[in-house]
């Protein structure tokens, strides 16, 4: 069933603007769908836009837009890249650049002086873009880097890099030189013939002198600062660090300007791909790229000044066998060049090298101090989080603690206030695992002051208090042990509502509650209701403002069935998803009583397995044609939204409420009488978790083709998934009439004189075992993995929903909700 009707708008066929932007045969736009469309210069046929170098990347500030939205943006300029416009996934979602059917909407890039469209974006490196923006937010003007303008896009323009003036210039592609006419240029400008290979601009270059000289080609690039030399070529020339001496490009010796960085060059050229030039080259020369005439115009803009520090770093990191892991060489470089462009990279390499070597604590501490010294003063705590990840990845938790404590010293100066709290949390968690309880408690408590709702922090504090309680209990100090157990329980409750700590916290809650009971606590036994009371006000909720009042005009004999298809990992609390539908369901359950509306929720195995997924949910979704966990279905005939942002819950509630009201007056149930009797039976040897027993009786027309369903559900199930929903309502656990059908389709209507009665007797342990078997099968089939939590049914939450389905139409004709007899007494015993 499809909730949303998809609108398919024809994509307009756009063409090049009237100024004459052509699509030359060497341009990727000539034979790919990624092309510049509708280019328009603001003034004349030239656009100059300012650029800046930020951490060795060339960045332009601009806007990107679609018909839906316009965003301010920073974009990298990567001339050697084969891409057109790469965009961060979140940016593409914000721009709504793709329709739900997968078709694309053109994206407009608004550069200073020029705007153009690209038919579709390419996928950017989200993690790298996020990290770059976080680290350089101030230099970027607090505007995120969301993607890259690639070489395949720039190939449609006449491009000039003038970094001395802080700008890049784009013009329409030049016309071919008139035949027989030799163009002239300024006296300080050198013209260089180039060739185009795989969309890249290649320049003839020769390396070295005399018998060891080597000729080939270097690609013009802007994606990195360093100009690279193929490491195999460097080794062949006997200069492993790239110090080949003469690097002849036209009339210039780039060896006077640049230290070539040994690297793998992932490109090929028939003359031999020697490397790729970078921003260091463009800082010294104004470079004009005339693709039409296969010509480069090079004008010096800055005197030569060889970067000795760069060469020293390359010598410290390369030798005859390739990349070096020489900690002493890196330390020597840092001593000589503590504040150069590559010093931070060297410090990171030093730390990783020490960890690879399994160095002693003093050597690692020194490496960490270098990492701190070479980081910006207002990012040292943020940087420490990355050092800690490195220490953890190499298996040194004790060094992780060193890194964290070093970062904490700079916490007050960090531009991200939460960084120091994250450091305290990670250090505390690690010390807890190392058995350093008191030290861990101090860090976790410090973290709790800054991020009091953090699940990991509360989980760690709960574990600390639990370990204290166990020690006190073992020493016979029951009263103090009980106090520590209560503290642990409170922290575990706070941890239980977060996706990253919830599963472990749920297990801990059940464990601690049992120990509290054995210690003489009079606290109510662990249950969904208890946890729900304790987390009230800490999670999203939605309450109905009114109760439904039945009248002869707005109701009949019909009980409406609302089936909610969802998943605990569908979306997030912030971005929306399952939480919008779940909150609306809460409101609907408060508004309508069981007398008039029956609710069931089914958890599907997408986008990820959750422990409430079972065969019944999968089969019922197949019956209704549902594939995504984002829909409510009313009487199997009316689909309503089942997902959205939490603030959209009221709109979903109101829309669904109106749809239910329309069904309440249906006369489809007038010919039926559906009765249900259920009893909960206490545990015994055969059913160690208890069982539900009873019968469903139906009177109706014999001529109809129908099935009767009887579904065992739980009113509340505790499981904090990524969606932000903590307590899941009316979770369908099992079809109770499988013995009569052999599957999940209920019992076939086989009346005797217009009546049929079907009995059932099902153990709760059997239901749990079947649901666990379903998860095992799905995991074996590659549906993912899931932690088997909240699988055991809580008898205090049980409810049974029976309904009648018309086989010819699929319509639910009648429903009934019954709570098993015996549960009230059970609840009183657990209070």
What does the pLDDT look like over 175-200, one tens digit per residue? 999 988 888 899 999 999 999 999 99
d(CA 585, CA 540): 13
Q: What pLDDT is attached to residue 4? A: 32
CATH code for 16-172?
A: 2.40.70
Q: What pLDDT is attached to residue 767? A: 97
The tens digit of pLDDT for each residue in 283-317 reads 999 999 999 999 999 999 999 999 999 999 999 99
Q: What pLDDT is attached to residue 304? A: 93
The tens digit of pLDDT for each residue in 519-574 reads 777 776 778 888 888 888 888 899 898 999 999 899 988 999 999 999 999 999 98
Q: What pLDDT is attached to residue 320? A: 80
Q: What pLDDT is attached to residue 427? A: 98
- The answer on pLDDT for 3 being more than 50 is no
Q: Whose CA is closest to 384, among 342, 354, 413? A: 413
Q: Whose CA is closest to 505, among 554, 576, 551, 453? A: 453
739-763 mean pLDDT = 89
The tens digit of pLDDT for each residue in 233-251 reads 999 999 999 999 999 999 9
796-823 mean pLDDT = 95
Q: Return mean pLDDT, the chain.
A: 91
717-731 mean pLDDT = 94
Residue for token pair 């575990």: 492
The tens digit of pLDDT for each residue in 455-495 reads 999 999 999 999 999 999 999 999 999 999 999 999 999 99
Q: What pLDDT is attached to residue 21? A: 40
In terms of CATH, what superfamily is 560-828? Immunoglobulins (2.60.40.10)
Strands 122-123 and 85-87, by their bridges, are parallel
Token reading at 564: 């909610």
The answer to whether 66 touches 97, Cβ cutoff 8 Å, is: yes
In the chain, where are the structural domains located? 16-172, 190-303, 314-534, 560-828
d(CA 544, CA 548): 10
Q: What DSSP letter does each residue of 24-37 carry, written as one string?
A: -TTSGGGTSS--EE
- The answer on pLDDT for 828 being more than 80 is no
- The answer on pLDDT for 20 being more than 50 is no
CATH class of 314-534: mainly alpha
Q: What pLDDT is attached to residue 9? A: 22
Verify cis geometry, omega within 30 degrees of 0, for the bond prior to 607: yes
d(CA 190, CA 186): 8
List the single range of 355-369, 468-482, 667-681, 805-819 with lowest mean pLDDT: 667-681
Token reading at 431: 């010390």
Q: What is the pTM of this model?
A: 0.80
741 — pLDDT class (breaks 50, 70, 90): low
Q: Whose CA is closest to 760, among 654, 676, 648? A: 676
d(CA 206, CA 222): 21
- The answer on pLDDT for 8 being more than 80 is no
Q: Whose CA is closest to 189, among 255, 250, 257? A: 250
Q: What pLDDT is attached to residue 15? A: 30
What count of other Cβ atoms lies within 10 Å of the Cβ of residue 395? 10
Q: Whose CA is closest to 338, among 306, 359, 369, 293? A: 369
Token reading at 1: 């069933």
106 — pLDDT class (breaks 50, 70, 90): very high
The answer to whether 697 touches 755, Cβ cutoff 8 Å, is: yes
d(CA 725, CA 568): 7
The answer to whether 618 touches 690, Cβ cutoff 8 Å, is: no
- The answer on pLDDT for 102 being more than 80 is no
Q: What pLDDT is attached to residue 35? A: 65
690-701 mean pLDDT = 95
Which residues have a Cβ under 8 Å from the Cβ of 79 and sit 6 or more positions away?
151, 154, 159, 161, 201, 220, 221, 222, 223
745-769 mean pLDDT = 94
- The answer on pLDDT for 44 being more than 90 is no
Q: What pLDDT is attached to residue 322? A: 82
Residues above pLDDT 70, as percent of the chain: 95
Strands 107-111 and 228-230, by their bridges, are unpaired
Identify the helix (H) or strand (E) that includes residue 427: helix 418-433
Judged by DSSP in three states, 662 sits in helix
Same fold, 16-172 and 190-303: yes
Exposed, middle or buried: residue 95 (CB in 10 Å: 0-12, 13-18, 19+)?
Answer: buried
CATH topology of domain 190-303: Cathepsin D, subunit A; domain 1 (2.40.70)
761-779 mean pLDDT = 96
Q: What's the chain's length in residues?
A: 831
d(CA 5, CA 17): 35
Q: What pLDDT is attached to residue 153? A: 93
The tens digit of pLDDT for each residue in 206-220 reads 999 888 889 999 999
- The answer on pLDDT for 421 being more than 90 is yes
């Amino acid at each position: 069933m499809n909730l949303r009707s998809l609108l398919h708008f024809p994509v307009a066929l756009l063409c090049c603007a009237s100024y004459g932007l052509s699509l030359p045969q060497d341009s990727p736009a000539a034979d790919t769908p990624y092309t510049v469309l509708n280019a328009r210069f603001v003034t004349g046929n030239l656009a100059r836009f300012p650029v800046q170098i930020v951490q060795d990347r060339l960045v332009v500030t601009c806007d990107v837009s679609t018909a839906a939205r316009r965003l301010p943006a920073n974009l990298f300029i990567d001339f050697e890249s084969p891409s057109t416009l790469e965009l961060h996934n979140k940016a593409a979602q914000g721009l709504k650049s793709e329709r739900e059917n997968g078709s694309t909407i053109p994206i407009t890039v608004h550069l200073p002086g020029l705007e153009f469209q690209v038919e579709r974006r390419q996928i950017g490196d989200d993690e790298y873009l996020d990290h770059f923006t976080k680290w350089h937010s101030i230099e970027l003007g607090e505007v995120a880097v969301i993607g890259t303008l690639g070489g395949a896009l720039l190939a449609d323009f006449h491009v000039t890099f003038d970094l001395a003036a802080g700008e890049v210039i784009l013009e329409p592609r030049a016309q071919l030189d008139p035949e027989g006419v030799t163009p002239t240029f300024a006296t300080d400008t050198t013209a260089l013939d180039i060739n185009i290979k795989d969309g890249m601009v290649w320049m003839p270059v020769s390396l070295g002198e005399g018998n060891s000289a080597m000729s080939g080609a270097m690609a013009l690039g802007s994606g990195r600062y360093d100009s690279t030399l193929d490491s195999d070529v460097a080794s062949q020339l006997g200069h492993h660090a790239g110090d080949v001496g003469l690097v002849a490009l036209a009339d210039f010796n780039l060896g006077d300007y640049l230290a070539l960085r040994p690297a793998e060059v992932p490109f090929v050229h028939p003359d031999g791909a020697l490397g790729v030039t970078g921003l260091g080259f463009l800082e010294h020369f104004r470079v004009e790229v005339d693709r039409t005439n296969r010509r480069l115009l090079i004008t010096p803009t800055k005197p030569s000044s060889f970067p000795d520090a760069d060469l020293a770093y390359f010598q410290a990191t390369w030798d005859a066998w390739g990349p070096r892991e020489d900690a002493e060489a890196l330390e020597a470089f840092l001593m000589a060049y503590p504040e150069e462009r590559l010093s931070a990279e060297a410090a990171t390499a030093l730390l990783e090298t020490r960890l690879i070597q399994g160095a002693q604590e003093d050597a690692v501490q020194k490496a960490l101090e270098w990492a701190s010294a070479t980081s910006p003063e207002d990012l040292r705590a943020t940087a420490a989080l990355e050092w800690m990840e490195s220490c953890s990845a190499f298996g040194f938790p004790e060094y992780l603690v060193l890194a964290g404590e070093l970062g904490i010293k700079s916490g007050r100066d960090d531009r991200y206030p939460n960084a120091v709290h994250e450091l305290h949390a990670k250090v505390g968690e690690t010390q807890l695992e190392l058995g350093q309880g008191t030290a861990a408690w101090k860090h976790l408590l410090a973290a709790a002051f800054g991020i009091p709702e953090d699940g990991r922090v509360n989980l760690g504090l709960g574990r600390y208090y639990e370990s204290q309680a166990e020690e006190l209990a073992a020493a016979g100090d029951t009263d103090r042990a009980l106090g520590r157990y209560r503290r642990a329980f409170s922290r575990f409750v706070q941890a239980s509502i977060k996706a990253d700590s919830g599963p472990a916290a749920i297990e801990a809650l059940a464990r601690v509650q049992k120990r509290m009971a054995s210690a003489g606590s009079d606290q109510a036994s662990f249950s969904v209701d208890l946890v729900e009371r304790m987390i009230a006000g800490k999670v999203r909720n939605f309450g109905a403002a009114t109760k439904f009042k039945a009248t002869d005009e707005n109701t009949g004999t019909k009980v409406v069935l609302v089936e909610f298809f969802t998943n605990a990992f569908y979306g997030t609390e912030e971005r929306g998803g399952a939480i919008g539908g779940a909150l609306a369901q809460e409101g609907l359950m408060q508004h309508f009583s069981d007398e008039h509306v029956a609710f069931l929720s089914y958890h599907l195995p997408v986008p990820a397995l959750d422990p409430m997924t079972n065969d019944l949910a999968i089969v019922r979704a197949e019956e209704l044609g549902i594939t995504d966990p984002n829909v409510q279905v009313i009487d199997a005939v009316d689909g309503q939204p089942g997902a959205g942002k939490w603030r959209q819950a009221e709109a979903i509630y109101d829309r669904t409420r109106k749809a239910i009201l329309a069904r309440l007056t249906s006369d489809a149930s007038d010919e039926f009488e559906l009765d249900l009797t259920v009893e909960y039976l206490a545990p015994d040897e055969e059913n160690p978790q208890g069982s539900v027993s009873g019968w469903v009786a139906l009177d109706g027309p014999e001529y109809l083709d129908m099935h009767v369903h009887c579904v065992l559900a739980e009113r509340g199930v505790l499981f904090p998934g990524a969606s932000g929903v903590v307590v899941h309502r009316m979770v369908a656990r099992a079809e109770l009439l499988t013995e009569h059908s052999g599957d999940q389709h209920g019992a076939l209507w086989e009346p005797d004189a217009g009546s049929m009665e079907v009995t059932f007797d099902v153990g709760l342990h059997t239901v749990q075992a079947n649901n666990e078997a379903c998860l095992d099968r799905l995991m074996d089939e590659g549906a993912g993995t899931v932690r088997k939590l909240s699988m055991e049914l809580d008898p205090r939450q049980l409810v049974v929903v029976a309904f009648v389905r018309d086989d010819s139409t699929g319509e639910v004709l009648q429903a009934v909700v019954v709570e098993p007899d015996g549960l009230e007494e059970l609840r009183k015993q657990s209070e």
